[in-house]
Amino acid sequence: YDSDVLEPWGQRIGKTDPVLMKWIAEGNDPAKVVVREAHQRGIDVFYSFRINDIHDSFESCAEEFPTYKAEHPEWMIGEGQPYGYPTALKFDIPEVRAIKLAVINELFEKWDFDGVEIDFMRGVPYFTPGTEPQNAHILTEFLREVRQDLDQRGEERGRRIELAVRVDEALDICHLDGFDVESWIKEGLLDILVVGAGAGDISVEEFKELAAGTSVRIYACLEAYGSVGRYRPRSEEVRRALALNYWYQGADGIYTFNWFPHSPGRAYEASLLKEIGDPNAMAGKPLVFPAECHLTHLVRDYPHNWAHGVLPAELTEGQTVVVPIMVGEDLVAAAQQHPLSRLELRVECDNLAAGDSLAIALNGEGLLWQKRENGVITVALTPDQVRQGGNHVSLRLARHAPQTEGVVTVNILEIHVVYQ
C-alpha cells in the first residue's frame, strides 16, 4: 500500500511490483480501496499487522527485506539461535518499537480503518531466545502506547478504534513467549483477543474465564493447517468439528488463518465460511473430531506451541497412554434431530502386529474392536458413550508379539460422525 513509513517491497533491490506502483499512481491504493469497498458493504475492516514477520529470512522473499534491517543487523536476533529466524526483530530495542508504532499511527492518519490486529504469532521470538518471560513487560508497555494512540485517534473520530491481538493457544505457552495476557486484559488494552497459532486444541475456556467481567471478546483461530501431514490442510469435516469445539467452550467468534478458497482444490473453504460462524449451520453435516498431535516440524517457527499434544505416542508392552479428545457436539441431542449413519472411533497405528493385543477404553469404558485394516482400528460407538466436551481414550498394549520389528506407535486418533 502507499505508505510514508514503510518502503515498497523490493525498493531496496530495485524490484518493486510494477502493478502495485501503477495502482498507486492511478489513485487505487489498495488500503484505500479495501476500506472503501468494505464500508460500502457494511463491513468493519481491520489492518492485520504481522508485527514481526520473518519471510524476509528466505532467499525467495528477498524483496521483503527492508532497508532498516540491512542498515541495522544488530536489531535482529541473528543466526545461531535455538529457534526463530535470523531476521526476527528484538523488541527490547526502542528503535524497533518506534517503527512499529509509526506504522500503526499512519494507518489511522491516512485511512479509515475500524481497528488494527497485532498478530504476535507472526512471529516469535520478540527477544533473544530464552529471555522472553523476563522481557514481557516491554510488550505490555508497547501495547499501552498503542492503546493510548488509538484512544486519542478515536476521540478525534468520535468512535472507538478497536485493538485485536493474536497469541498462543494456552496461557502457559503465552507466558513462555513473553505475552502477559492477564495484564493486557486487566488494563483494558484489548477489544479482541484471538487465541491459537495452528494447534486445534485451543484453551478457549481458560481465556474466557480470564476475560470474564470485561468487554474483551475471545476469538478462536481456526488455522487451515495442522501439525502433521494428515491435517495439512485440514479437511472440511475436521474444521467443522474444531469450530464446534470452540463454540462449545464459549468463543465469541471464529478467526480464520491460511484459508485460500481461490486456490485449486480449496473451493470448499468458501462454503465453510458460511457454516463455521453458526453451530446451527453445521447441524447434520459430517464431522471429524481429532486428538491433538505434537508439532513434528516448524519447531523453529513455533518453539512452544502444540505443547499439549499427546500423539504420536509409542507403546511398549504393558504401557498405557491416555489421549484427550474434545467433542463439541451433543451427540445424543444431535442424533435425535439427525439420525446417525455412522459414529466411530478410529485409531491409526504403526507396527501393530497380528499377535499384539491393544486394549482401548473411552472415558473408562472398555471398547470391543475387531476391525483393523491398513493399520487403522475402527470401533463403533453409540452417542451416549461420547461426552460433549472433554473425553479421554486409554490405549494399553497388553501384549506385544515377540520378534516384531518396530515400536508400536499411535499416530492419529479421531471420532468420526456421519449423519443420514
Would you kindly state where each structural domain of the chain is located, as residue ranges? 11-284, 313-419
| Integer Cα distance of 159 and 369 in angstroms | 60
CA distances from 170 to 131, 174, 209, 272, 307 (A): 19, 6, 12, 26, 9
Give the model's pLDDT for residue 144.
99
Nearest by Cα to 351 from 411, 296, 290: 411
Give the model's pLDDT for residue 297.
76
Angle in degrees, CA 258, 262, 265, rounded to 5: 85
Give the model's pLDDT for residue 234.
96
Nearest by Cα to 3 from 103, 115, 139: 103
| Integer Cα distance of 266 and 312 in angstroms | 27
Give the model's pLDDT for residue 371.
84
Structural class in CATH, domain 313-419: mainly beta
| Integer Cα distance of 287 and 329 in angstroms | 9
Structural class in CATH, domain 11-284: alpha beta
User: Cβ atoms within 10 A of the Cβ of 75, count?
Assistant: 18
The three state secondary structure string of 169-228 is CCHHHHHHCCCCHHHHHHCCCCCEEEECCCCCCCCHHHHHHHHCCCCCEEEEEEECCCCC
CA distances from 206 to 245, 250, 288, 406 (A): 14, 10, 24, 39
Reduced to 3 states, what is the DSSP secondary structure of residue 114?
coil
Instruction: Give this prediction's pTM.
Output: 0.96
Cβ within 8 Å of residue 145, ≥6 positions away:
97, 101
User: Cβ atoms within 10 A of the Cβ of 93, count?
Assistant: 16
Tell me whether the CATH fold assigned to 11-284 matches the one assigned to 313-419. Answer: no
Per-residue pLDDT for the chain (420 aa), expressed as one digit of tens each? Answer: 999 999 999 999 999 999 999 999 999 999 999 999 999 999 999 999 999 999 999 999 999 999 999 999 999 999 999 999 999 999 999 999 999 999 999 999 999 999 999 999 999 999 999 999 999 999 999 999 999 999 999 999 999 999 999 999 999 999 999 999 999 999 999 999 999 999 999 999 999 999 999 999 999 999 999 988 889 999 999 999 999 999 999 999 999 999 999 999 999 999 999 999 999 999 999 999 999 998 877 789 999 999 899 999 999 999 999 999 999 999 999 999 999 999 999 999 999 998 899 999 999 999 999 889 999 999 999 999 999 999 999 999 999 988 778 899 999 999 999 999
